[in-house]
Structure 1
Amino acid sequence: MKKTIFLMAAALFSSVTFAQSKNFLDTPYLETQAKVDTLVTPDRIYLNIIIQEKDTKGRVSVEEQENQMAQRFKAMGIDLTEQLVIKDMGSNFKKYFLRQKEVLKSKQYSLLVYSGKELGDVMIALEQLDIANTHIEKTEYSMMDELELELKSRAVKRAKQKADALTRPLGQKVGMAIHIADNSNYYPRYNQAPMMEMKAVSADMGQAQPLDIDFEKINVETTVNVKFALSN
């Protein structure tokens, strides 16, 4: 008896599935694909900074350089709590062995700035403090999630416009969407070690001026496939 009930349930499920598939296939539809992309300017720039003890007669310690850097950053309006972090928190200090077997300490930081202008100010300040071991790690766009959703909506609207253009000469009308597929490929959400262009470095009365920096823009794109039901 149980076996009979199971076979009846399986047959019923199969017939329902077949009917659904058949109904979908029997519906006249048009499939269109649309791609939308844009370029955005990074607004989160991560700068890697390494401070080392000076190998000189009057050696300057890491701690002294760190304090000087922190004071300069505070004077520039940088929030040290939010924008500056120490890398390798487990060790804090890395040690470098010289040929004379002497040990020099080093400390590494990551600084977050929000514009090319702010980065230029930081680089000038570090140069004045004789801290030259720096490089840009990556750049990001802070509103990436919202931008991706906006692009997907625009892509669906474009797919509808294409469907209207294709069916208008045939005298048919585009109905409701019966299937939507997001075919966007994965892409990096940031530029790793991005290219940057320093337009100019000038000096006025001995005072260094902020660098005018343009960053490589981040390309964001999305692709959708949409099936629209057709009617006469």
Structure 2
Amino acid sequence: MKKAIIFIATALFTTTMFAQSKNFLDIPYLETHAQVDTMVTPDKIYLNIIIQEKDTKGRVSIEEQENQMAQRLKALGIDLEEQLVIKDASSNFKKYFLRQQEVLKSKQYALLVYSGKELGDVMLALEQLDIANTRIEKTEYSKMDELELELKSKAVKKAMQKADALTKPLGQKVGMAIHIADNSQYYPRYNQAPMMEMKAVSADMGQAQPLDIDFEKIKVETTVNVKFALSN
């Protein structure tokens, strides 16, 4: 008896679920696809800097070069506590012809700047200090989360506009959205090894000017599929 009751209850539940699925499929609907994109300029640029002791008779120590760099960066308005960190400190060994061994120290830093202009100022200052081992490591757009949400909203509105355009000639009306699928790609927060263009350094009365640097913009796009119920 209990088995019969369980069987009947299961059958009723299955029939109800099937009916609900069938009713959903029987609803007249229109599916639209919409994509929006934009280009943004990175506002966080990470510069990798390596300072090494010079293998010369009167070489400058790591500590002295570090202090010189810190002073120049402060003069440019760089917040050392917030924007400069040490990534790695190491020692390299080199053998001389006299079979003596000497330690040549090196330090690696990561510097964060917020614009191409600020980066140009920094690179010029480092060049003047004879610190040439620098490279752009990565760039980032700090408001990526807010931008993605804004683009998703625009994409849904665009899908609605397309649905209106498709149904208007038929005399039908677009109703509520019965299904929304977000098919957007995941965008990493960092753009590794970005391309950049360095324009020529100009000189005015012998005074060098900062580099004018244009960064490759980051493309961000979002895609949605929306099903709208239709009514006459």
Which TM bucket (shorter chain)? over 0.9
CA distance in 2, matches of 1:131, 1:220: 35
CA distance in 1, matches of 2:203, 2:161: 54
2:122 alignment partner in structure 1: 122
1:70 equivalenced with 2:70 (yes/no): yes
Is the 1:47–1:135 contact (alpha carbons within 8 Å) kept by the matching residues of 2? yes
1:131 alignment partner in structure 2: 131
Is the 1:190–1:218 contact (alpha carbons within 8 Å) kept by the matching residues of 2? no
2:177 alignment partner in structure 1: 177
CA distance in 2, matches of 1:3, 1:221: 55
CA distance in 2, matches of 1:78, 1:171: 63
Question: Following superposition of structure 1 onto structure 2, how do residues 58-97 of structure 1 map, counting pairs within 5 Å?
Answer: 58-88=58-88, 93-97=89-93
2:202 alignment partner in structure 1: 202
Give the deviation of 1:103 after TM superposition.
2.6
What's the C-alpha RMSD, in Å, of the aligned pairs? 1.5
Partner SS, residue 102 of structure 1: strand
> Any runs of at least 4 consecutive aligned residues in structure 1 with deviations exceeding 4 A, and if so which?
1-6
Partner SS, residue 161 of structure 1: helix
Give the deviation of 1:162 after TM superposition.
0.6
1:145 alignment partner in structure 2: 145
1:132 corresponds to which letter in structure 2?
A
Partner SS, residue 24 of structure 1: helix
CA distance in 1, matches of 2:194, 2:51: 22
1:210 corresponds to which letter in structure 2?
P
1:95 corresponds to which letter in structure 2?
S
1:98 alignment partner in structure 2: 94
Q: 1:178 to 1:98 in 2, by over 3 A?
A: same
1:96 corresponds to which letter in structure 2?
N
1:11 equivalenced with 2:11 (yes/no): yes
Partner SS, residue 194 of structure 2: coil
Q: Which moved more, 1:39-48 or 1:178-187?
A: 178-187
Give the deviation of 1:67 after TM superposition.
1.1
Q: TM-score, normalised by structure 1?
A: 0.93
1:36 corresponds to which letter in structure 2?
V
1:223 equivalenced with 2:219 (yes/no): no
- Write the deviation string for residues 98-127 of structure 1: whole angstroms up to 9, x where unpaired: 353533111111100000000000001100
Percent of aligned pairs with the same amino acid: 84
Partner SS, residue 86 of structure 1: strand
Q: Which moved more, 1:169-178 or 1:56-65?
A: 56-65
Q: 1:2 to 1:201 in 2, by over 3 A?
A: farther
